[in-house]
Chains A and B, each alone.
Chain A
Amino acid sequence: MNGHSGAVVFRAEGISKAWSTLVLDRVSLELREGEVHALMGSNGAGKSTLAAILGGLIRANAGAMTLGDLPYAPRSRAAAEGAGVVMVLQEMNLFPGMSLAENLFLDRLPNRFGVVDRASLHRRAAVTLERVGLGHLPPDTPLATLGVGQRQLVEIARALDRRCRVLILDEPTAALSARESDLLLDHVRRLVGEGVSVVYVTHRLNELPRIASRVSVLRDGRFVAEHLGGNVAPERLIEEMSGRASQQGSAAASAPTGDIVLAVAGLERGSRVRGVSLEVRAGEVVGLAGLVGAGRTELLRTIFGADPASAGSVCVGDGRARRFHSPRAAVAAGIGMLPEDRRHDGLLLGQSMRVNALLMPGSPPARGGWIDRAAERGAAEEIRTRMEVDCTSIEQPVGELSGGNQQKVVLGRWLAAGCRILLCDEPTRGVDAAAKGTIHRLIREFVNRGGGVLLASGELAELRAICDRVLVMAGGRIVAEFSRGWSDEGVTAAAFESAVPMAPSRGPTTVETAGHSS
């Protein structure tokens, strides 16, 4: 496809957005009529944030946008749609219990005095469905009977019916099979032929030559490069996404590794975790890298017994291979977990730091079931001091603490529980830089005392800072393993499941085949 042919439909200049840290730093983007502008970048590069700003879901802190000749600053998704910019979300907001027609026209059902005019509804729905190649489905089909791919098409159909000029697709193929992806790309191409302009966020390098007329690369919230046409060498893109300078591995520590404290063999959980085997030794932090949806969280939860495994075993160094059927059993065996979403899965937000810090088996200190309140306060104060938790007192509700302090409370709980293995899922997401350093140090101290850590993170800098080894996951499998001295390019390449042969500085110790179907 050829870019730069049509008139400029949309332009964004100097867009910045900060939450607690800067996530977009003066990014500009131009979109011409009938082009597909692909946005590439690693996790956290700012692609989705930029897309959400265009779609009116969030507002930029700085910068200006124009649509056609008019200034464009949508205050809401509805306002953006009114102006002709429609975003199809990663998490689909459709109603499984309703029919296709109802889903398409939910906010403007044709009606007569409040009574839905079914004939008219179905007639209009049929026309809309035809446009995305779902014309063979009767409009009264319940949405629940459709697969993920077809639902994605229904979302797009819904967008198209709003006289859309700019369509924003945020990883539309992430949940799709290869065949479904192909169909979806065909339809996107057809829409482009009709004059719609598309902003296409994706993780998949192999889609670019087939669909993109322009590719922009973001890294750490900044614009890095723009390429005309979709035929960009994957090596080049990966280099741009991961940073040009070859980042060398951790200089954190050189703890000699000890006995195996955690051995996972052939662990399966449906299609989310497929035959994962790994080992963690005492004194070692093993990183889990991979894209969103690669199965890192699912793997940790399955090891921990929070989700049931369908096959495989876990061994915690006592020589006994088993599967944990509940977190309780895993905790009893000496495993602890820092969940990805600590606010929902780790804490009782309305309860005090004291209650949360001691939320573990065999705690708070008690005699015959009656809590020893002095001992309890002492134990909570000890955790507060040891973990450097910044709170007004141990009675302050944890919901009022910052993200970093909340995480220190959860971490402190497991250290106090005396576990030997820690599973950390994005341990410093939403945590400020100072607390991040403290948490990394505490994890490092834990392994130096003989513990073993398996740590999932979407942030390469974090893995580099703290891990001794890094395993890369894609499609529920471990597709590569890198020992110390790994490079960001190598990990990024493996994660993007591209077939780029790129040896990390000392070479991967094992590289399994990435037999990933989609």
Chain B
Amino acid sequence: MNRTRLGEWGVLVLVWLGLVALFGTLADHFLSATTLTTVAGRLPGLAVIAAGMTLVIIAGGIDLSVGSVMALAGAVLGVAIVQWGWPLAAAIPVAILTGALAGLGTGLLTVGLRIPSFLVTLGSLEICRGLTYAVCDSRTLFIGAAIRPLAQPIAGLGVPVTVPVAVAVVLAAQAILSRTVFGRHLVAIGANEPAVRLAGIDTAIPRVAVFVLSGALAGLAAVFASARLGSADPNAGAGLELAAIAAVVIGGTSLSGGTGSVVGSLLGVLIIATLEAGLAQLGASEPLKRIVTGGAIIAAVAADALRRRWEGERG
């Protein structure tokens, strides 16, 4: 890992620590188990979705369908457990596979028809939401005890198993990005796809694969979300794509592709989740919370742009 990247991560960690210190001072009970639970509930789903989103964006695309794909995978998970009586161990792979298939569709359409992924996923966002309503008959499916174990805090750790799993996924995605040929090709495609093609490298397979990966991770996020709520909600994940993109951007990934990191996105998720939890502790109203979160995104992007310009001027 190069020095610049470590520096970026360091800055993000400092920002996060600053937020913790700020809310710790302002709110009486910020540094408590309740806050940890809140953050731990929000983090895993958003983190794995942001991990997939990071790879998609680095490869020069974008996936707006992740929220809907997550809802669809959640509905399939709920139906498998509740209506078909499948054990959790069998239902989870099916949920992930559902997400992967949705991603495969997106990828094939984007690459095959040469349509920008922004437009394809704008469409599949609606399609998957519609399919979700069809699968669960527009009602929330109560899964209950079957999935609860996943949401129970692990003794001594204070967080449910979903948190370490999400962190492991992020680290794995980062390793794929920076250590594999596939990851190298994703970065290269995002940086300059025509040049990659003229170098004799196939770009179609990596471009499809990255959407399959993003879909599969949305499926995994559905498992996390269902565990937390004990149910599969057909309206789950609405607007989640925007939160994920915000985390990716705060984490230092360029929206124009070709550069970025998954670990940075995880730190972005951590910052967003902490900000939300802290504002809630302070008793901030919903409107104020959204305004502050929005301001934080713009501030992060502006700081990044200013830093780049400054570095550019220095040569």
Interface on A for B, CB 8 Å cutoff? 304, 306, 326-328, 330-332, 336-337, 339, 344-351, 355, 359-361, 364, 366, 369-371, 373, 395, 413, 417
Contact = CB atoms under 8 A, between A and B. Distances in A.
B195 A346 contact: yes
Contact of A355 (B182, B188, B202): B188
Given A327-B199, A330-B200, A359-B201, A344 B184 contact: no
Contacts of A370: 179-181
A346 B194 CA distance: 8
Interface in B166-198: 179-182, 184, 187-188, 191-192, 194-198
A344 B193 CA distance: 10
The binding surface of chain B is classed by DSSP as: helix
A346 B198 contact: yes
Nearest to A347: B195
Contacts of A350: 191, 258-259
Given A328-B201, A359-B196, 9 more contacts: A327-B197, A327-B198, A331-B199, A348-B191, A348-B195, A351-B187, A370-B181, A373-B179, A417-B200
A337 B191 CA distance: 20
A361 B199 CA distance: 8
A359 B199 contact: yes
A370 B184 CA distance: 10
B285 interface: no
A364 B195 contact: no
B179 A371 contact: yes
B32 interface: no
Contacts of B188: 348, 351, 355, 359
A33 B94 CA distance: 82
Contact of B200 (A332, A347, A395): A332
A326 B179 CA distance: 27
Nearest to B258: A350
Contacts of A347: 192, 195
B65 to A, nearest CB: 27
B83 interface: no
Interface in B223-258: 258
A347 B201 CA distance: 13
B200 A371 contact: no
Nearest to B2: A395
B184 A337 contact: no
A345 B192 CA distance: 8
A355 B201 CA distance: 14
Contact of A369 (B181, B199, B258): B181
A287 to B, nearest CB: 22
Contact of B184 (A328, A355, A395): A355
Given A366-B181, A370-B180, A328 B258 contact: no
Contacts of A345: 194-195, 198
Nearest to B194: A345
A403 B64 CA distance: 39
A306 B181 contact: no
A337 B196 CA distance: 12
In the A-B complex, list the 9 residue pairs whose CB atoms are closest, starting with the nearest: A331-B200, A348-B191, A359-B199, A328-B200, A366-B181, A369-B180, A348-B192, A361-B200, A327-B200
15 contacts: A306-B198, A327-B198, A327-B200, A344-B194, A348-B192, A350-B191, A351-B191, A355-B187, A359-B188, A360-B200, A369-B181, A370-B181, A371-B179, A371-B180, A395-B2
A338 to B, nearest CB: 10
A381 to B, nearest CB: 17
A326 B184 contact: no
Contacts of A306: 197-198
B57 to A, nearest CB: 15
A336 to B, nearest CB: 8
B181 A371 contact: yes
A344 B181 contact: no
A348 B60 CA distance: 13
A13 to B, nearest CB: 38
A330 B199 CA distance: 10
Contact of A344 (B2, B192, B200): B192
A347 B192 CA distance: 8
Contacts of B199: 327, 331, 346, 359-361, 413
Given A327-B199, A359-B196, A348 B258 contact: yes
Given A348-B258, A359-B188, A364 B181 contact: yes
Contact of B198 (A339, A349, A364): A339
Contacts of B182: 369
Contacts of B195: 344-348, 359
B204 to A, nearest CB: 10
Contacts of B2: 395
Nearest to B191: A348
A328 B180 contact: no
Nearest to A331: B200
B201 A361 contact: yes
Contacts of A371: 179-181, 184
A77 B29 CA distance: 65
A397 to B, nearest CB: 11
Nearest to A376: B184
